[in-house]
Amino acid sequence: MKKVLLTVLVALLAVSSWAVETPKSGFGVQIGWAQPILRLNDPTVQPKDSLAHVAKLNGFKIGLLYDESYIAGFGSKIGFNYTMAGGHTNWTKKDLSHSTRSQTYYQELELFVDWQYKFEIAKETYLTIYTGPTLQCGLMLQRNVYTRNEVTDEVTSNTYSAYTTDIHNEHLKRLNVTWGVGAEFQFRRYFVRGGYDFGLINPYKYRQFENSDRYTRGRFDQWSIKVGVFIWYDEN
């Protein structure tokens, strides 16, 4: 994490001499792809009947943002995002006569603040490097677990909410904090923005053995790439 932040800082300093007059502020919308990832701090633990069994979720992100340039290309973006994602496992043998699979659904709200450096690479064309924190609030993380009888082909299901029930000794907090790094390409009012958010806290914990006080903890990271447009732009 420290190496990543140091690299970003060096990059910002390296391009500072390229700074030209940049747009002062703008209000925009963005939409794109997101991949929340639950990463366990102990990779040797491989829980099969847990949220961690679906390590990656894929979905979309939509949001509003406000862009402000302060001086010589340095500025910030602040905004809100809504993220919805899902994932599933394949059918796996539970015993000689039963197989199981699960589907996971995830929804969250985000408040992000990114500090950025924007410089012009061509007329009305900009490249931006950014870094900053995001506060996430989980709205839903639900698992549907299906069990199939291989003899009768009958399928039964159970639904669990990670925020309100104890799923196989799992515990999950709604609040999460991440730190993101990324880049943006902008042409006139249109932009493409992508990056990676590193989880700073461990909202997830999993107890592998019943009646044990030892938990394996985990964090939520996230890949994302968005396209957007500035609805309002002030270049004065």
pLDDT band per the 50, 70, 90 thresholds, residue 18: very low
- Residue 192: per-residue pLDDT: 98
CB contact at 8 A, 85 and 58: yes
Task: Name the residue with higher pLDDT: 7 or 135.
Answer: 135
Residue 58 has pLDDT above 70, yes or no: yes
Interval 167-198: pLDDT, tens: 567 788 999 999 999 999 999 999 999 999 99
User: How far is residue 198 from each of residues 30, 45, 68, 134, 201, measured CA to CA in Å?
Assistant: 21, 21, 24, 10, 9
- What span, in angstroms and rounded, lies between the C-alpha atoms of 98 and 200? 39
- What span, in angstroms and rounded, lies between the C-alpha atoms of 219 and 201? 6
Interval 111-166: pLDDT, tens: 999 999 998 899 889 999 999 999 999 999 888 889 999 888 899 988 888 887 66
Task: Name the residue with higher pLDDT: 74 or 170.
Answer: 74
Q: From the CB of residue 164, how many other CB atoms can be counted at a distance below 10 Å?
A: 11
pLDDT band per the 50, 70, 90 thresholds, residue 23: low
224's enclosing H/E stretch is strand 216-234
| SS3 call for 136 | strand
CB contact at 8 A, 37 and 198: no
17's enclosing H/E stretch is none
Structural domains in the chain?
A: 27-234 (2.40.160)
pLDDT band per the 50, 70, 90 thresholds, residue 235: low
What's the rounded mean pLDDT across residues 36-58?
A: 76
- What span, in angstroms and rounded, lies between the C-alpha atoms of 203 and 145? 22
pLDDT band per the 50, 70, 90 thresholds, residue 42: confident
Interval 199-234: pLDDT, tens: 999 998 887 766 667 788 899 999 999 999 999 888
Mean pLDDT of the chain: 85
pLDDT band per the 50, 70, 90 thresholds, residue 52: low
pLDDT band per the 50, 70, 90 thresholds, residue 16: very low
CB contact at 8 A, 67 and 230: yes
Quote the DSSP letter at residue 55: -
- What span, in angstroms and rounded, lies between the C-alpha atoms of 158 and 147? 9
